Structure 1
């Protein structure tokens, strides 16, 4: 009998080779396969098989030119699947957290731990987690936490965010947190991953497989998953009921608004053509959209191989202002939230120094942010302020994609990068 066996640390490659059946080898264990056609012996260790619930069509490009392009345009669907079955009767139902909500509510703090895009998603979630739960939130880059051996306490809830669930630094930080007795929560896109197996509880973001090295749809689904976490944890607080209701309503309409912002694809391609010869790009954000600035700059850096920096707009006068001239393109995120008037001031200061500005604003605000047509404007749908980062990142993802194509670089396999960073 002909038998095919595939070995991989990335689960979706197994399905790509048309093998839905798998078993997981635990850390520290060894599996020896022996084949002797003349002898039929039962295996010395019986391992349970599980089935990958994934269609092969999910890991093909279809009508798109690149996986990154496909995954950007899949976001209305991926966000719908992230929320499916979890918005219940005006509330949030997260089965993976249900038994641990009381413990999380008693935590002295929540510690978000991640790397790269996953860290940025957690950073986007921090403000509304603090607002809705009343629990202090700290941020840790996994590698830095390990280098410092930073304090983790038994009374902490440590939330580990990783698309693959196999990121080496994140898993080592998980071991460190477990050793220190913290409640460990996983937020991952990969069922059966090491992260999902070793944490006490968690949330699968259900964004569907993501093949392009630069994460796009997983980022937005991570933000939405953590928004639902915050809503579930804070559901016992009467004082935030109206705010929670508004956010839940915003979640329901989010896929429709994402479909609307994807119509900017042609505009972003045109913008990319005007930036293709630039050497650098700055992205300014603050409040909810500081993370958007970091993530947008990271996307351009990753795939277009252009130097780009995401910056906190409140720090503009502490160094970055010296870089401003008529040649350096600067994107300022100025959608409607509590920081809107401050961003208007930032725009005026940059214009007074002849900055080359591209301003992202809410629909109808073009004249408020750029009087007299003094800069280029990207108008996006306005949603609940804490969900606005999901909308605002999409034009920047499209910009990064088109810049990469125009500059002639590999979109799905950027130079020197891997999808799952499994080494330190």
Structure 2
């Protein structure tokens, strides 16, 4: 959610810190700051710290012209404790200025630690939970920075990714991780620290991903990892799977626009090598489950947050349709708090673009602690969830920068199609039906391209509804998750209130809100419920409600005279994947028409690493 960067080596640290923070802007933040250790041993101030509210460009403008220190840490903050203000921006420092800390996550017992420190005479300069760590490290009487950090963390409960600098030990940065990602980039006589590989790719292609409970001492010449008991651990750098060009706009106005247009290629990538025509099934070796194990599951439970939850609902319907196994989706953020019953004959599937979504990662821990089998649909290799699950399906959508997920979401839907096909063919799905679904999956990349041929019309429709105060999205059975995801996209980037309802529920209350000022976006697939969906649309029109239909060529809507966005027809089980694409475009063009920052919607973050 927040961003951490750090540098130690032979070059000035500030340029990397600023560049790295800029690369992490997509994660969402409201303030930024850096702290750099001076090269001048006689300098009155050994640490130069600059913090600003707003974008990284404001931070860069506020930096001294000469900032030559070769050790530094930086941070972009998404407010949790205390408002967006300079005093709350990171890095936070100890009272004597010796210790500087940047932190992602939440210190659960910060209030009690703060009270104890204040009783001991410590004066706090911020409202944050992070500042307690700086004071705890500074007050330690340990002989080394590593020991002081360990002592401080022994008093802390919560989640954290930390980077700590000490003026007494200017040759090192100590980092620690528990529940929030942290990566060490390995260079040539220089080392990098980041919470996301995007900050590293211009400088190194080798990195070490810390595990939960692991710490490291990072110097210009290398790193040493150890656990919470100071025992050495073994870490080997791995190749980063992100290229610099993947993170560029490449001529597009917004990352969201670029990523939507990358969907056909991303879809081809997730399907490549996974379609088995001979047996009319999917090859999913990454699940690490043999046919006998897969047949033993009597239920599938899918967990995700936000858009991942809604695509999980699509996936549950696919699994029930094709495999005839009871399946349902649930918000991962609520899962562990309702004392869930973990069943050994249930296959748990967690979904996360970043692989770092805190609520979903905690759900994985709960399932594994109680003996459940959990697999993941994750986009980022080496991420927390990818390493914690028993197996899974990598989405291979490529880096996704815009906060609103598009290509990763589509690949999640395709991955569920593969999983449903695989499970179905292990049970009662016929070879003919398996081949039907396989052919349907093969058609999807080309059909996504067809949707974009209607983009200009979709832009015009979006411009007409952008000025509304509220909007309804409605859909039924397979169409309902499409409506939920559509409403999510519309509200998060256009800031227009949007709600999703099952079409059948309109008459049970929401119809009272239909007015000429309240547009309704109706998902009407060409399926067995098409006539019922059309009847509901007529109820909206009878009350003079503006209506936009997202539908198929075979649905007769001409007699209603409504605005229709037509989507190519695929197999009924796979149609929701394609029906989602126009809702992305509607949201995007509405947000553009309203002049909003499409890639960085207010108050939101790309990877939600706090509860």
Q: Shorter-chain TM-score: which interval?
A: over 0.9
Is 1:50 aligned with 2:238? yes
Indicate if the aligned counterparts of 1:18 and 1:56 stay in contact, CA closer than 8 A: no
Q: Does 1:416 align with 2:603?
A: yes
CA contact (8 A) 2:241 2:381 kept: no
Residue from 392, 403, 416 that aligns with 2:579: 392
Asked whether 1:303 is paired with 2:493, we answer: yes
Q: Which aligned pairs between 1:323-334 and structure 2 lie closer than 5 A?
A: 323-334=513-524
2-structure distance, mates of 1:378, 1:342: 19
- Offset, 1:128: 1.6
Cα distance in 2 for partners of 1:357, 1:114 equals 30
The C-alpha deviation readout for 1:131-183, integer Å capped at 9, x for no partner, is 22222112221121122122122222110001111100001111111111111
Q: Does the CA-based 8 Å contact 1:154-1:180 persist in structure 2?
A: no
**CA gap 1:327/1:51 in 2 versus in 1, 3 angstroms:** same
Deviation at 1:18, TM superposition (A): 3.0
TM superposition shift of 1:237: 3.0
- How does the TM-score come out when normalised to structure 1? 0.94
Q: Is the 8 A contact 2:475 2:481 kept in 1?
A: yes
Measured at CA, do residues 64 and 269 of structure 1 come closer, stay the same or move farther in structure 2, by a change above 3 Å?
Answer: same
What is the aligned partner in structure 2 of residue 11 from structure 1?
A: 197
Describe the superposition over 1:322-346 as per-residue Cα deviations: whole angstroms up to 9, x where unpaired: 1112221001111212221211111
Following superposition, the deviation at residue 252 of structure 1 comes to 0.7
What are the ranges of 5 or more consecutive residues in structure 2 without an aligned counterpart? 1-8, 11-188, 226-231
Tell me whether 1:77 sits opposite 2:265 in the alignment: yes
Q: After TM superposition, what 4+ stretches of structure 1 lie above 6 angstroms from structure 2?
A: 40-44
Question: Which whole-Å CA distance do the structure 1 matches of 2:598 and 2:301 have between them?
Answer: 33
TM superposition shift of 1:320 = 0.9
Give the corresponding residue for 2:276. 88
1:364: Cα distance to partner?
Answer: 4.8
Q: Which residue of 1 is the match for residue 339 of structure 2?
A: 149
Per the alignment, residue 451 of structure 2 pairs with 261
In structure 1, the residue corresponding to 2:209 is in which secondary structure?
coil
The match for 1:216 is 406
**Corresponding residue for 1:113?**
303
Greater helix share, 1 or 2? 1
Partner Cα distance (1:172, 1:322) in 2: 40
**Kept after mapping to 2: 8 A contact 1:165/1:190:** yes
The secondary structure found in structure 1 opposite 2:316 is helix
Report the CA distance between 1:62 and its aligned residue.
Answer: 0.3
Paired position in structure 2 for 1:22: 207
Structure 2 length-normalised TM: 0.66
- Structure 1 residue 380 displacement after superposition: 1.4
Q: Which has the higher contact order (CA 8 A, sep 6+)?
A: 1
Cα distance in 2 between the residues matched to 1:382 and 1:298: 24
Query: Following superposition of structure 1 onto structure 2, how do residues 14-413 of structure 1 map, counting pairs within 5 Å?
Result: 14-15=200-201, 17-35=202-220, 46-89=234-277, 90-97=280-287, 99-365=289-555, 368-371=556-559, 373=561, 375-413=562-600
How far does residue 120 in structure 1 lie from its aligned partner after superposition? Answer: 0.8
Work out the CA distance in 2 between the residues paired with 1:221 and 1:206. 8
Greater share of strand residues, 1 or 2? 2
Instruction: Give SS of 1:23's match.
Output: strand
What secondary structure is seen at the aligned counterpart in 1 of 2:215?
A: coil
Which runs of 5 or more structure 1 residues have no equivalent in the other structure? none
Shifted more, 280-289 versus 355-364: the winner is 355-364
Cα-Cα RMSD: 1.9
| Shift, 1:387, TM fit | 1.4
Contact 1:282 1:330 in 2 (8 A): yes
Instruction: Note if contact 1:290-1:312 (Cα within 8 Å) is conserved in structure 2.
Output: yes
Say which SS state the counterpart of residue 441 (structure 2) adopts: helix
How many angstroms does 1:292 deviate by? 0.5
CA distance in 2 between counterparts of 1:24 and 1:101 reads: 32
Aligned counterparts of 1:325 and 1:22: Cα–Cα separation in 2: 56
